[in-house]
Structure 1
C-alpha cells in the first residue's frame, strides 16, 4: 500500500498514488496565509513526498492567492520532474471582484484561468484540470464542451469536478458520453469518518459512471487527529478548529463517541488516530486517493505510513458503526432492509459471486418449510 503502488484514476489510464499531496498551505498569502508555509518549508515537504514515491500533487489558483501554484511550478522545474508528476489544479474562484467574468465556471473564465495557471506552474499542460466549486449558474454543457476544447488544444490532459451535486456530475458525464466529448475522470469531495455524506449518492454514482473520488479533509479538518478534546467551553486544543468563530466548536455527542472509538482502535493497532482515520478513508469503496497536507517533513513521514497496515475487519466494523449516520428521508428506501421487504418482498437477491449465472430463487421465510 506504499506510495509507489499506483492506481488508475476513474475510468482512465492515469496512474496516481493512493495519497495525494495537498498544497493549500504552500505560500503565505491570501485566504490561507494563517497557516501557510514558506517556499523553503514547502520545498522540503514536496521533495519528501516525491522521495516516498508519490506522484499526485493537488493545488488550485485560489490557494495562497496563487502562491501555491507559483511555488509548485518552481519546485517541479528545479527538480526536473514535470513528466513524473501528475499535476492537478482547479478554477472557479474570482481573481478580480470588479470583473463579473473573472470567476465562476463559464468558458471565458475557464480559459483565462487555465492560461494563468499554466504561467504560474511553468508548464505547457496540466494533467488534471478541475472545476473547483459549482457556481449554480453556468450550464453544465458549457463546462463540458470547454473541457473538451482544452484537451484537444493540449492544455490539459484530463478533466475533473470538485464539490458539485451528484446530479450535476452525472449530467456532465452522460452529456460527454452522448456527444463523444472528453469524459470527466475525477470527483474531489470532502470525506472522512466524521463526514460520510457523499456515500448517499456520490460514491455509487462515481463507481457507475467511471469517476474516481479523491477525498479532501480526510481527517475532518484535524478533528480526527485527537489533538482536540471536549471542554465546558466547547472544543479545546491548539489548532485552527478552535479559532474565534469557528463553526467546528459545535460538536455532537455522536462525534465525541466516534472520537473515543477511533482512539481505542488506534491504541489496539499501535498507530496514531490520524493514521487510522486516513487508512479508513483511503481504503473505502470508490475512493481513488486521499489528499493529505503537512506542516513539515516529520508530520508527512507519519502520514505516509498510514497505509502500511491493513485494518482488521472487526476494528473497521467498529469504526463503521461509530461513524454511521442513518439514511434520511427518501434515502431510507434504498437501504437493504427496505429493498428486501418493500421493493421485492418475494425475492432474495445478494451480491453476485464470480462466474455468476442469473438465477432467481423464491424467498421462503424461516421455519415455513
Structure 2
C-alpha cells in the first residue's frame, strides 16, 4: 500500500483529519543560528502543501517567535485547509516568573500571543509543551477546556509529560466532561524507544494519537555524523548553537546512537533508499503513531523525508533494526511476560487475546 500526504488519518479519538507526516516549523527562522531564512522556509512550506500536506507543527518560542510569524504569513489565504498545532509552556520574558510554565496565566497569555503571530482567530491543536511539575492538573485541564469553549482552540494535546500524569489528566477530563487530550507528542525514534514502556501503549489505550518529534534523532539517523563528532564536550543546555550541539545535548549523538545509525545505513543500502527514509518509515510502522514530525531545513531535505511514505521495510530488515535498538522494558513489563508469572496467573487456561 502506497501512502501519500493526502491520505489522511484521524487524530486520536477526534475526527480531525491530518497528514501522515507533520511539517515541523522549528527550523523556520534563523534566530537560533541553524534554521531556514524566510524564502527557503516558504519553499519548504509550499512544497509540503503541494503534496497534500495539511499538518503544521510550531510552538510559542520556536526561533524566538519567528516560526509562528512565518507560519501565519505563509498560511494567509489557506488557513482553513490547514491544521496548525502550537504549544505553550516555554518562558517568554526573562525575570517574569509567570511568563512560562503550565498554569492558566501562562497558557492564556501564550495563546493570545500565538493567535496574533499566526494571524488567525483559532488554533487547531494546542499542546502543553513540557510538564513543569508544579501546576495542578485540574487547573491545566479546566483552562484548556475554557479555551476550547471560547473557540480559540479546537483540540488539545500534551507533550513531554510522564505517562501516569497524562493518564490522570485524561481520566479527569472524561469524568468532568472537559475536552480530552487527542494527541501525545513525544520523542520517538530508533535511538529513543523507552517511550514504548508506558507512554505509547497509554496513548493507544486512552485515545491519543502519537506524534513523534525528532524521529531522525537530531540528524544522527540520517547519517549526518560520524564517530569523529563524538568529541563534542557533552553539548550545552542552551537551545541555540549548532545542530551538532543539539544532537549532543539531547543524548542522540553517542556511541550507541551511531551504532544504530550504522544499521539504518545498511538497511537503506540493501533496499535502495536513504537512511532518513528508513528511520521515518520505522516510526510509521507502529500503529499507535499518527504522524511523525519532519523538521526539514532545506527543500531537498523535505523531498528526502517525504520519500519515506513510499518505503516498506522487509521483515528481516525490520528485525535487524529492532534488535540493534532494543531496550529493556523493565518492571513490571518483563515480570508479567515471564513464563513462570503467566503460568501462575493463567494455569492451563487457553485465552485468545484481542489487540
Partner residue in 2 for 1:366? none
Q: Aligned with 1:305: secondary structure?
A: helix
Q: 2:109, 2:133 → 1: CA distance?
A: 20
Query: Structure 1 residues 339, 228: closer, same or farther in 2, change over 3 A?
Result: farther
Say whether the 8 Å CA contact 2:277–2:311 is kept in structure 1: no
* Cα distance, 1:131–1:346 mapped onto 2, change above 3 Å: same
Deviation at 1:327, TM superposition (A): 1.9
Cross-structure match for 1:287 = 289
Aligned to 2:56: 57
In structure 2, the residue matched to 1:241 is 244
* Equivalent residue number for residue 357 of structure 1: none
CA contact (8 A) 1:10 1:211 kept: yes
Distance 1:195 1:153 in 2: 37
Which portions of structure 1, spanning 4 or more consecutive aligned residues, are displaced by more than 4 angstroms? Answer: 232-235, 242-250, 336-339
Total equivalences in the alignment:
345
Aligned residue in 2 for 1:147: 144
Counterparts of residues 205-354 of structure 1 (less than 5 Å): 205-231=202-228, 234=231, 240-241=243-244, 246=249, 248=251, 251-252=254-255, 254-335=256-337, 337=339, 339-341=341-343, 343-352=345-354
Unaligned runs of 5+ in 1: 354-369
Q: How does 1:68-79 map to 2 (within 5 A)?
A: 68-77=67-76
Does the 8 Å CA contact 1:234/1:250 hold for their aligned counterparts?
no
Q: Give the drift of 1:74.
A: 0.8
Identify which of 96, 100, 103 aligns with 2:97: 100
Q: Alpha-carbon deviation of 1:59?
A: 0.2
Offset of residue 248 of structure 1: 4.2
Q: Where does residue 47 of structure 1 map in the other structure?
A: 46
Matches for 1:84-123 after TM superposition, within 5 Å: 84-123=81-120
The structure showing larger relative contact order (alpha-carbon pairs under 8 Å, at least 6 residues apart) is 2
Root mean square deviation, CA, Å: 2.2
- 1:248–1:162 distance in 2 versus 1, CA, 3 Å: closer
- State the SS of the aligned residue for 1:83: helix
Larger radius of gyration: 1
Instruction: Report the equivalent of 2:186.
Output: 189
Partner-residue secondary structure (3-state), 1:220 = coil
Deviation at 1:334, TM superposition (A): 3.5
Residues 246-281 of structure 1, C-alpha deviation per residue, up to 9 Å, x if partnerless? 4648624x4444222212211111011110000000
